[in-house]
Structure 1
């Protein structure tokens, strides 16, 4: 599989599986939660509140590990392991672009001061669990 094919596979898995686990470090221990992600090229974006543990954890240690794509089919069910560095992005343009009505459950609109976006830049991306294949590393 060429690097271009791998990139397309990664993008397709992420696009088809917006919900995944995101791990951060809390008191020197891993802490995971489910998050919804939006992809732009190979960067990931996810909305959260500035008052959550994850926002605090990202400020202390910006490195994260994300799993996207596994659908419970077992061996051969491809997924993406995404290691990245997260930054808190308060850009009004980005917040408006990502805003959807579902977020009204947590925020009072895109101008809510607690609404922030985690912008995650990839450090390492691997395609895992493809039947008969070793894990593939996407060169960044």
Structure 2
């Protein structure tokens, strides 16, 4: 599998499986939670509140792990390691906004709404047509 095929597989998995786990580190231990992801090419984006524990954890250690896919025992999934950057500009909030987010935020202009941008450092594709996991280091 060449790099472009690999990247397309990542995009396909994110597009068809937008809910996954985001793992941070808290007091030297992993802390995982489900999140809703969107993508800009292979960079992942997710919304959260400034008031969450994950934001404190990210400020201490911006390195994270994301797991997406795996809808059945043989379906493909990705493991992604990356670094988070907090985005607060109105333009990215506007672009990311979905009506389902009204459950947590008053609107796109909610002062607690931030977007976490996850820059990938590596991907691992599992359960692909390849017999072994396929890795892409960025």
TM range (shorter): over 0.9
Runs of 4 or more above 6 Å deviation: none
| Pairing 1:87–2:71 present | no
In structure 1, how many angstroms separate the alpha carbons of the residues matched to 2:70 and 2:114? Answer: 27
Match of 1:6 in 2: 6
Q: Quote the offset at 1:131 in angstroms.
A: 5.3
Q: Quote the offset at 1:129 in angstroms.
A: 2.2
- The one-character-per-residue Cα deviations of 1:21-60 (angstroms, maximum 9, x if unpaired) are 0100011100000000001011100000000011111111
Contact 1:19-1:36 within 8 A present in 2 as well: yes
Contact 2:121-2:137 within 8 A present in 1 as well: no
Match of 2:134 in 1: 136
In structure 1, how many angstroms separate the alpha carbons of the residues matched to 2:116 and 2:137? Answer: 23
* Cα 1:132/1:120, change in 2 over 3 Å: closer
Q: Structure 2 regions of 5+ residues with no counterpart?
A: none
Aligned length: 138
Q: Quote the offset at 1:77 in angstroms.
A: 1.8
Q: Quote the offset at 1:78 in angstroms.
A: 0.9
* Cα 1:139/1:4, change in 2 over 3 Å: farther
Question: What aligned pairs does 1:116-131 form with structure 2 within 5 A after superposition?
Answer: 116-130=114-128
Q: Structure 1 regions of 5+ residues with no counterpart?
A: none
* Cα 1:85/1:49, change in 2 over 3 Å: same
Contact 1:3-1:139 within 8 A present in 2 as well: no
Match of 2:48 in 1: 48
Contact 1:78-1:127 within 8 A present in 2 as well: yes
In structure 1, how many angstroms separate the alpha carbons of the residues matched to 2:9 and 2:48? Answer: 27
Match of 2:18 in 1: 18
